Each structure stands twice: as structure tokens, then as C-alpha cells.
């Protein structure tokens, strides 16, 4: 009686476990394939609300060729994969994990044999046997069909060469465009007008204004007297200009030289010492810049006229 009761409890326990553990099964349509062939691998579970099928892993040398969507047949779910292999041998598809209602279950592992494809070398040798070359006699039309492409290419090359010959034979000398040189005085006068129209110092850009103003004066002196005026300090330029005044006998008076020194020095204070002159001083320096350019221009033109007069005599 004691054994009967024990057996009854065991049966009831197994029945409860069978109800709590869903049936997860796996099957393949064949266990033997050749290299490159595909085998269908299917996982089946009960139709629960939440089932997560695996991304096949641990396939050894096998490869998942295609993965299908889940199918529902009656009360079960089916997930199908196509698996193939490109190396010969026996390979295991290890246990795969399936989640059913957030619980993990495992499939059985399966063995797949992948065999190489035998090659019948005897048939290949017969099929690809080299036949002896047979001589054929061609008609004139057949010969033309064979060589016409070469003839057309040859004619095209000849036409191209002839075209090049006539092209370069009739080619005229290119027209040389003379570069218009603007006299330094006209260029400086125009730049002063443009600077005035910018209204830099009126818009609180005093540093930029003095920088452009002195650059115009320096460039004019350099171009008109043929001296290096842009890349020199104030003292270097003044010393150079005093020497040129003596050598060329320009006749620059002391006031012009002092006005130039004052303009360049004031620009240095503005640019490097951040000094800000008042409106009256700015207008005075603008007027001095125009007067300096005008004075040097008149002296240079007078000097040129003297040279012409001497040459005519």
C-alpha cells in the first residue's frame, strides 16, 4: 500500500511538470548535405503570448542562409531557418535557447554531415579535349567582315591627323593684351576717395582707417620715387626719403617732410599704442596725406620736364 501511494504521487508530480514545461522541439529535413546545399532547420513551441526565438549561434562552420518569419499552425509556433555549409565535415548545431513567457528553454543539439561534390575527371577530360585546328577558306566578304573594324580605325586615325595638321597650320598668333599701368598719382588719388567713402573712422574704426591711409601714402612714395616704402619703419622711411630728396634733388621742403613724419608717427600710435585722436586731428591728417601726395607729384613732374628740356637742347 505504501508503494502504491508513493507511485501515485510521482505520477501526479510528473503530470504537473509536463504542464508547466512547454514542449520545445527541433527538426531538420536531412542530416546529410553537399557543400552549398541547404537544410531546413525548424524550432517548434506552444502558442504562448510571448515567445522569443533565437538568432542561431554556435553553428561551427555552418551558415544561416535565410531566416523566415514565425508561422502559426493550430496551437503551435514554427520558426524556420535555412542552413548551409561550405566546408566538408560533420558539424553540430548546438542547443539553442528559446524564451517562453520570460523563461528559458533549450532545443536538442543536431549533427549535420557536409560532403564534398565528387568530380568525374574522366568526363571532364573527354568534354574539354583539345581538337585539332582546321583550316578554313574564307570568301572575300568573310575577309572584309573580319578586317573592316581595323580599316575603320585606321581611317579615323588618318582623319584625326589631317585635322590636327590644318588646325595648327592655320593657327594665328595669340593677341597679346597689353597691361594697362595706372600712374601712381592717379591710383593714389582714387584710393584716397575710396577710403573717404568707407567712413571708417566715423564708424569707430580708427585703427583700420590710419592703417589704410598710411599704406596709400607709402605705396605712392614707393611707386613714384622707386624706393622700398611699405616694409619699413617710420624712421627708416624718413631717412630713406631725405637721402632720395638730396640725391634726386626733388626739392621737398621741410614742412612736407615734417607733415609726413607726423602722419606716420600718429598712425603708429593708433595701431600700436591704441591712441584715439579727435575728429579735428583725423581730418588734418587726411588733408596732409592728400597734400603730401600732391606735392611729391608736382615735384616729380617738374623734374621730368627739366630732363626732357635738357634732352631737346
Domain ranges, residue 214: 184-312
What pLDDT sits at residue 177? 66
Instruction: Band the pLDDT of 135: cuts 50, 70, 90.
Output: low
What pLDDT sits at residue 214? 94
240 close to 262: Cβ distance less than 8 angstroms: no
Q: How many domains does the chain have?
A: 3
Question: What pLDDT, in 10s, does the model give residues 224-234?
Answer: 888 888 889 99
Instruction: Indicate whether 150 and 32 sit together in one domain.
Output: no
Instruction: Indicate whether 38 and 100 sit together in one domain.
Output: yes
Tell me how far CA of residue 54 lies from CA of 38, 79, 80, 96, 98, in angstroms: 19, 9, 11, 7, 6
The burial class, CB within 10 Å (0-12 / 13-18 / 19+), for 229 is buried
What pLDDT sits at residue 122? 63
Average pLDDT over the chain, rounded to whole? 82
Q: Would you give the DSSP letter of residue 82?
A: E
42 close to 79: Cβ distance less than 8 angstroms: yes
114 close to 34: Cβ distance less than 8 angstroms: yes
Instruction: Indicate whether 69 and 158 sit together in one domain.
Output: no
Instruction: Indicate whether 218 and 302 sit together in one domain.
Output: yes
242 close to 251: Cβ distance less than 8 angstroms: no
Instruction: Indicate whether 221 and 251 sit together in one domain.
Output: yes
Instruction: Indicate whether 110 and 157 sit together in one domain.
Output: no
Instruction: Indicate whether 91 and 142 sit together in one domain.
Output: no
Nearest residue to 70 via CA among 42, 98, 97, 110 = 42
Is 56 inside a domain boundary? yes
Is 95 inside a domain boundary? yes
Question: What pLDDT, in 10s, does the model give residues 269-299?
Answer: 998 888 889 999 999 999 999 999 999 999 8
Instruction: Indicate whether 306 and 219 sit together in one domain.
Output: yes
Is 3 inside a domain boundary? no
Of 72-86, 132-146, 212-226, 277-291, minimum mean pLDDT range: 132-146
Is 176 inside a domain boundary? no
Instruction: Indicate whether 221 and 299 sit together in one domain.
Output: yes
User: What is the domain-level CATH number for residue 49?
Assistant: 2.60.40.10
Instruction: Indicate whether 146 and 190 sit together in one domain.
Output: no
- Determine the Cα–Cα distance for residues 298 and 307; give it in Å rounded to an integer: 14
Instruction: Indicate whether 88 and 160 sit together in one domain.
Output: no
Is 71 inside a domain boundary? yes
Q: What is the 3-state secondary structure (H, E, C) of 130-151?
A: CCCCCCCCCCHHHHHHHHHHHH
- Determine the Cα–Cα distance for residues 138 and 142; give it in Å rounded to an integer: 6
Instruction: Indicate whether 287 and 197 sit together in one domain.
Output: yes
Is 27 inside a domain boundary? yes
Q: What are the cell numbers at 279?
A: 575728429
How many C-beta atoms lie closer than 10 Å to residue 297's C-beta? Answer: 18
Q: Where are the beta strands (DSSP E) in 68-126?
A: 71-73, 76-85, 89-93, 97-100, 103-106, 110-115
Question: What pLDDT, in 10s, does the model give residues 198-253?
Answer: 999 999 999 999 999 999 999 999 998 888 888 899 999 999 888 888 887 778 88
SS3 20: helix
Amino acid at each position: 500500500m505504501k508503494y502504491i501511494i508513493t507511485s501515485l504521487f510521482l505520477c501526479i508530480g510528473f503530470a504537473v511538470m509536463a504542464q508547466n514545461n512547454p514542449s520545445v522541439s527541433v527538426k531538420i529535413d536531412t542530416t546529410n548535405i553537399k557543400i552549398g546545399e541547404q537544410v531546413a532547420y525548424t524550432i517548434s513551441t506552444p502558442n504562448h503570448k510571448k515567445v522569443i526565438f533565437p538568432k542561431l549561434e554556435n553553428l561551427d562552420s555552418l551558415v544561416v542562409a535565410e531566416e523566415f518569419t514565425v508561422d502559426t499552425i493550430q496551437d503551435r509556433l514554427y520558426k524556420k531557418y535555412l542552413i548551409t555549409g561550405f566546408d566538408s565535415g560533420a558539424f553540430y548545431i548546438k542547443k539553442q535557447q528559446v524564451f517562453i513567457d520570460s523563461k528559458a528553454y533549450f532545443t536538442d543539439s543536431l549533427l549535420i554531415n557536409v560532403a564534398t561534390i565528387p568530380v568525374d575527371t574522366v568526363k571532364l577530360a573527354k568534354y574539354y579535349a583539345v581538337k585539332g585546328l582546321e583550316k578554313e577558306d574564307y570568301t572575300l566578304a568573310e575577309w572584309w567582315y573580319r578586317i573592316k573594324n581595323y580599316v575603320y580605325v585606321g581611317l579615323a586615325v588618318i582623319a584625326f591627323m589631317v585635322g590636327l595638321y590644318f588646325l595648327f597650320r592655320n593657327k594665328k598668333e595669340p593677341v597679346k593684351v597689353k597691361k594697362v599701368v595706372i600712374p601712381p598719382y592717379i591710383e593714389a588719388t582714387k584710393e584716397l576717395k575710396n577710403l573717404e567713402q568707407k567712413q571708417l573712422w566715423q564708424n569707430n574704426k580708427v585703427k583700420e582707417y590710419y592703417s589704410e591711409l598710411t599704406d596709400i601714402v607709402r605705396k605712392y612714395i614707393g611707386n613714384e620715387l622707386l624706393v622700398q616704402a611699405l616694409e619699413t619703419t617710420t624712421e627708416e622711411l624718413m631717412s630713406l626719403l631725405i637721402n632720395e630728396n638730396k640725391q634726386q634733388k626733388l626739392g621737398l621742403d621741410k614742412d612736407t617732410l615734417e607733415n609726413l613724419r607726423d602722419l606716420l608717427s600718429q598712425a603708429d600710435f593708433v595701431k600700436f599704442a591704441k591712441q584715439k585722436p579727435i575728429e579735428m586731428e583725423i581730418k588734418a591728417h587726411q588733408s596732409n596725406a592728400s597734400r603730401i601726395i600732391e606735392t611729391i607729384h608736382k615735384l616729380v613732374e617738374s623734374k621730368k620736364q627739366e630732363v626732357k628740356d635738357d634732352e631737346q637742347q
